[in-house]
Amino acid sequence: MSFVLTHAGDALRLAFAMFWTVLWPLALGFLLSAAVETFVSKQAISRVLGRGGARQVALATIFGAASSSCSYAAVAVGRTLFRKGATLPNAIIFEFASTNLVFELGLALVVLLGWGFLAAEFAGGLLMVVLLALLFRLTMTPRRSEQAAQQAARGLLGKMEGHAAMDMSLTEGPLVSRVLSSRALTSVSHYFFMNVYGLWWDLLLGFLIAGAIGAWVPSAVWPHLFPGGSGFGPQLLSALIGPIVALLSYVCSVGNVPLAAVLWRNGIGFGGAIAFIFGDLIILPILNIYRKYYSARVAAYLFAVSYATMVVAGLVVGLVFTAAGWVPGSRSVTAFDTTVTWDATTYCNLAVLVVIGLLLVRFLRTGGVAMLRMMDMPPEQMQHHHQSAAAHPSE
């Protein structure tokens, strides 16, 4: 205990260093996602995901990647799409893309771990989508899909239900007019802070846990957790371990990135680190929500399919990148040696803080706080919000 207390300052310093390093890419990613969500409606997405096929899988991936969400919100949106007509496989693929192929995740990976991790995350994410589509086609029986539909129709609450029900997109009129309208700015500000609000706890937890692990776990412990070696056996073991660590961490979405940085610095295999990042949709709270949404049997099925694709995608990426010589040669992580100085990172962070401040003013002036209070409400209670927003089109 005395060691922990003595090095508490080191843990907090490391946590802040990671946060400061990725602040501007996170903000930029949230902003880009908010802009996309402003002009693409959930209703339109659910209509085109109602059938199986390669085209629908591709659209689920594209729409998911463009729709930034925390894992809880992604799961809630997935059920909303399923209840509105999307197939269950397409809804799940949308969830995976929404948490693993989004702007802020990629930008944070580049800044903390380099381009090699971004390329691996992107390649592995696409491979995982293909694997999910194949496994669903082979194993998703009509009976299982019907069981999921019956349970989903019960409307049991998970988390971020209000988030899933909200659709503040602008779909009428010429695109240029919509982009330049005051309502677009309002919608972007609302989506921006809605996504930040949905992710802030995971981000905070991720940075704090990463800082604590980086400062408190002795170096001698890591070789016992992550055996070295570059052969097939060590890489398979690493890919098997990565999602299990994610399952137990309770951290999801972008919050996994600082943890992945600590694990990589301390010896986890390259494929294992990628599989760990993919593991945000099998953490225990998410599995419990799957149980409520789709039944216990379907939740167990989704866990098995998800875990298998995470392991295979991480393993394949690790093997291919190792064979091609694309695995980063250094295990150093920039944030571990970061101090706040007047450098490019600081200037970029100050710039995005100004943009965030301007969006915050718009957000506060257009009912944003009331909107946030509704994010965990049942969908039925969201109707008043939508009616109110529709009554003030000039905002």
pLDDT for position 38: 86
Side chain identity at residue 330, one-letter code: S
- CB contact set of 347 (below 8 Å; sequence gap of 6+): none
Residue 125 placed within a domain: yes
pLDDT for position 255: 81
Three-state SS for 250?
coil
Q: The domain containing residue 331 runs over which residues?
A: 2-390
**Which regions in the chain score pLDDT beneath 50?**
386-387, 389-391, 393-395
pLDDT for position 381: 61
Residue 7 placed within a domain: yes
80-100 in b/e burial notation, b at 16+ Cβ within 10 A? bbbbeebbbbbbbbbbbbbbb
Helix orientation angle between 182-216 and 71-83, rounded to the nearest 10 degrees:
130
Residue 120 placed within a domain: yes
Side chain identity at residue 35, one-letter code: A
Residue 178 placed within a domain: yes
Residue 286 contacts residue 247 (beta carbons within 8 Å): no
pLDDT for position 236: 93
Residue closest to 166 by CA, chosen among 138, 137, 139, 187: 187
Task: Tell the residue number behind the tokens 């930040």, with chain if given.
Answer: 196
* CA–CA dist 66, 362 (Å, integer): 23
pLDDT for position 354: 97
Residue 133 placed within a domain: yes
- Number of structural domains in the chain: 1
Residue 8 placed within a domain: yes
Residue 395 placed within a domain: no
Residue 367 placed within a domain: yes
The pTM of the full predicted model, rounded to 2 decimals, is 0.84
